[in-house]
Amino acid sequence: MAAQIWYEDDGDLSVLDGKKVAIIGYGSQGHAHALNLRDSGVDVVVGLRPNSKSVEFAKEQGLEVKSVPEAAAEADVIMILAPDQYQKGIWENDIEPNIKEGAALAFAHGFNIHYGYIKPSEDHPVFMVAPKGPGHIVRREYAAGRGVPVVTAVEQDPRGDGWDLALAYAKAIGALRAGAIKTTFKEETETDLFGEQNVLLGGVNKLVEMGFEVLTDAGYQPEIAYFEVCHELKMIVDLMNEGGLNKDRWSCSDTAQYGDYVNTVIDEHARERMQYHLQRIQDGSFAQEFMDDQAAGAPKFKQLQEEYSNVRIEEVGPKLRAMFSWNNEAAKDADEANSFTGKIARAQVQDAE
């Protein structure tokens, strides 16, 4: 069955007339949502800890900034955009004791609602508007008169206006220019975690790392191995993005295509491992493991970060990337264009320390 998709005419901004929207957090998504909402005529307040490094950045953009409890107390819609592991504490300590009766609670990822770390009372509408792109792209596309598509869901709808709120919010951040796909908190959470763990990060990163090690262990030069298993990946992903797997295959040589078809590295054993990881996502054991580690100060997470930041491919990667003049220019342009986003990212790190 085809997914239901809403577009610009399906959202009504007047639904947000007379309503105050609190954006909790001012990171990648937070700054984009707050600025896009404001520019769409919505009354916005940003909720931050008073000592947050992000306060000055939000104020520089002309936004109203208050503490999280103050912002929550006056808001009719509260969008929580803090990292997953912090949302439960923010909800219990700052939002739940102060939230207005009947105020709507919104998310850009279903993790905390789906796994029950946040349990709003039944009088609060709960919806999700999740952009399928990073915040700086959400902001850039809005400013250009375009939009980034979103997936949207309603978990609790006590008054029957949950979808009206969700689509109005999606329109206000520019998403309905591209489209909003109907989903559920369960579907969004489980597919998002699965994709990250098994394909986008846990799959691609480990394939690149392992392929590099197999070639260099066999005596091939690390520079050549890097080009073959890492550098050319962007070209393949760009082709997929433009025209799917078929364009990716048709754009490469017959030799490459044949090798793709008879590849026995990604076989049924990989499918079995994917099914195992999906089961851990579905039954909540992955979420529990992650949240328990975070609650203990993230010792395992920090150990893994250190371990995987120093894999062998990273010894040759920086030297070769410095040779790509087009990458250097693109990085320079991006740094200039997104200097504000960079400040926000650094502030987030400092806030979390």
pLDDT-derived band of residue 350, with 50, 70 and 90 as boundaries? very low
- At 161-173, the pLDDT tens digits run 999 999 999 999 9
Residue 27 annotated in ligand binding? yes
Ordered structural domains, the chain, with CATH: 5-183 (3.40.50.720), 201-266+297-323 (no CATH)
- Looking at residue 342, its pLDDT comes to 52
- Looking at residue 344, its pLDDT comes to 53
pLDDT-derived band of residue 313, with 50, 70 and 90 as boundaries? very high
Contact 127, 150 (CB under 8 A): no
End-to-end Cα spacing for the chain: 46
What residue type is 82 in one-letter code?
A
Residue 54 annotated in ligand binding? yes
Joined together, the tokens standing for residue 60 give 């520089």
Residue 139 annotated in ligand binding? no
What residue type is 247 in one-letter code?
K
- At 64-76, the pLDDT tens digits run 999 999 999 999 9
- Looking at residue 353, its pLDDT comes to 35
Beta bridge partners of 295: none
Residue 26 annotated in ligand binding? yes
**CA distance linking residue 176 with residue 138, whole number of Å:** 12
Residue 279 annotated in ligand binding? no
- At 5-39, the pLDDT tens digits run 999 999 999 999 999 999 999 999 999 999 999 99
**231 a catalytic residue:** no
Catalytic residue among 109, 114, 124, 136: 109
- Looking at residue 259, its pLDDT comes to 92
Look over the chain and give the mean of its residue pLDDT values, rounded to a whole number: 92
Section 79-103 average pLDDT = 96
